[in-house]
Amino acid sequence: MQKILVARPIFPDVIDRLKQYFDVDWNNGETLSADALKARLADKDGALTMGEPIDAAVLAAAPRLRVVSNMAVGYNNFDMPAFNAANVLGTNTPDVLNETTADFGWALMMAAARRMTESEHFLRAGKWSKWSFDMFLGADIHGSTLGVIGMGRIGQAIARRARGFNMRVIYHNRSRVAPEIEAELNAEYRSKEALLKEADHVVLVLPYVPANHHTIGAAELALMKPTATLTNIARGGIVDDAALAEALRTRQIAAAGLDVFEGEPSVHPALLTVDNVVLTPHIASASEGTRRAMANLAAENLIAALGEGPRAGQPPNPINPDVMGKARS
Ligand code: 8YV
C-alpha cells in the first residue's frame, strides 16, 4: 500500500475512505511544525494538506512524494515552481465552495455596513440603556454600488446575489470576463482606481500571488469613499492590514469585514482596537456541507492522482497537470 499523510484533523469518514486505498498517517492533533511536517513526509507517496507551506525544502525532504492535495481552492501555500521542478502534482478544491463563500462574503459585507458586531458588543457590554434615533447608523446595501475585485467563480457568485438587492455592480479583474458573463451579471468593468472611487461596498476575492500583495494599501484606501466598506475574503496579504486599521481608526472608510489576515492566525493588534471592523477566523467556506464536499474532493484528488479508485490517473483538479506521468525528480 502507498503511504499518505493527512496533515490535520478532518472528518473521520474521509479518513476511512482514504484507508481503503492507503496506509494513512493522520495528524489528528496540533498543527505540525515545518520540521515535523518534513519528518512525517519522509516516507510518504502523497499528502492531504490544509494550507501547510510546501516548498522546495519540504519536497527535498520527501523523495517519494508525488501528490499534494490541498483542501482549499487557494494554493498560495504551494511553491508551484518547486512542484514543477520536482515533478510533484498539486491539486485543489475549486467550485464546491463558491456559493457558501459568496454567502459569507455577503454576510461580512452586510454586518460591516450595518455595524452588527459593533452594536452587539455594545449590547453585551450592558451599555444599552435607552433607544436613540441615531444609534449605530450604517450604510445601505440595497440600491448601492458593489465593487468586486477578482471576478472569478466566487466573485461572480457574489455579483449574482447583488441583483436581489437592486445594486449596481462594477468589477476589476486581471482581465475582463466574457461579455456574456458581464451581461448576465449586469457588471461593468473598471480600473482598480475607478472602482475604489465609485463603489459603496468593495469585496476582495482575488487569489494571492506576489503581484496581488497589498492590492489594497494606504493609497488605495485613500481613494475610497468615507462611507464605504471593504470586505476581504480572499487571502491575508492582499490588504495591508496596518494601513487598513489606520484608515478605520481615522474613519477614512466607514467599516470593514475581514475573514483573512496577514500572518494568520495572528491578527494585527491595531485591528483589534478599532470598533468598525467585523473579524472572523477564516471561516468563509465553513458550512457543514461545503467542508464535507471540500474534504471529499481533496480525498478524491489524492486517490485518483496516486492511481487508485474509479478515476485512477484522472484527478478532477490538477493544478500542474503537465507533471503527471513524469518520474519524481
Ligand atoms: C479553506 C480557503 O478552508 O479554499 C480556500 O482557499 O481559504 C478555505 O476555504 C482554508 O484555506 C483551509 O484549507
- 138-142 long-range contacts (CB < 8 A, ≥24 apart) are 138/113, 138/114, 138/254, 138/255, 139/113, 139/114, 139/200, 139/201, 139/227, 139/228, 139/229, 139/254, 139/255, 140/113, 141/109, 141/110, 141/113, 141/114, 141/165, 141/167, 141/201, 142/166, 142/167
Q: How many CB atoms lie within 10 A of CB 75?
A: 24
C-alpha–C-alpha distance, residues 194 and 126, integer Å: 42
Ligand 1 in reach of 73 Cβ (< 6 A) = yes
User: What residue spans define the domains of the chain?
Assistant: 2-94+288-323, 98-279
The class that CATH gives domain 2-94+288-323 is alpha beta
Q: Are the CB atoms for 171 and 227 separated by under 8 Å?
A: no
C-alpha–C-alpha distance, residues 41 and 219, integer Å: 43
Asked if 249 is an active-site residue, the reply is no
C-alpha–C-alpha distance, residues 202 and 172, integer Å: 10
Q: Of the residues 8, 70, 282, 297, which should be mutated to test ligand 1's pocket, given the most ligand atoms within 8 Å of the CB?
A: 282
Residues of the chain by 3-state class (helix, strand, coil), percent to 5: 40, 15, 45
Ligand 1 in reach of 285 Cβ (< 6 A) = yes
List the catalytic residue out of 184, 188, 246, 264.
264
Asked if 201 is an active-site residue, the reply is no
Which residues are 47's β-sheet partners?
5, 68
From the CA of 50, how far away is ligand 1's center (Å)? 7
Q: Give the pLDDT of residue 111.
A: 98
Write the pLDDT tens digit of every residue in 218-238: 999 999 999 999 999 999 999
Please spell the DSSP secondary structure of 7-22, one letter per residue: -S---HHHHHHHHTTE
Write the pLDDT tens digit of every residue in 285-299: 999 999 999 999 999
Nearest to 253 by CA among 220, 272, 229, 237: 229
List the catalytic residue out of 66, 172, 235, 291.
235
Residue stretches of the chain with pLDDT short of 70: none
Cell of 277: 471592523
Q: Of the residues 11, 14, 71, 287, which should be mutated to test ligand 1's pocket, given the most ligand atoms within 8 Å of the CB?
A: 71
CA-closest residue to ligand 1 atom 12: 50
What DSSP character marks residue 245? H
Cell of 160: 449574482
Ligand 1 in reach of 98 Cβ (< 6 A) = no
Helix H segments across 172-264?
A: 179-185, 192-198, 218-223, 241-249
Q: Give the pLDDT of residue 229.
A: 99
List the catalytic residue out of 214, 282, 292, 311.
282
Ligand 1 in reach of 97 Cβ (< 6 A) = yes
What SS3 class is residue 68?
strand
CA dihedral 162, 154, 138, 281 (to 10 degrees): 160
Asked if 168 is an active-site residue, the reply is no
The answer to whether 2-94+288-323 and 98-279 have equal CATH topology is: yes
Which CATH number does 98-279 carry? 3.40.50.720
Q: Of the residues 95, 99, 285, which should be mutated to test ligand 1's pocket, given the most ligand atoms within 8 Å of the CB?
A: 285
Q: Give the pLDDT of residue 315.
A: 98
| Ligand 1 atom at shortest distance from the alpha carbon of 260 | 7
Ligand 1 in reach of 74 Cβ (< 6 A) = yes
From the CA of 283, how far away is ligand 1's center (Å)? 8
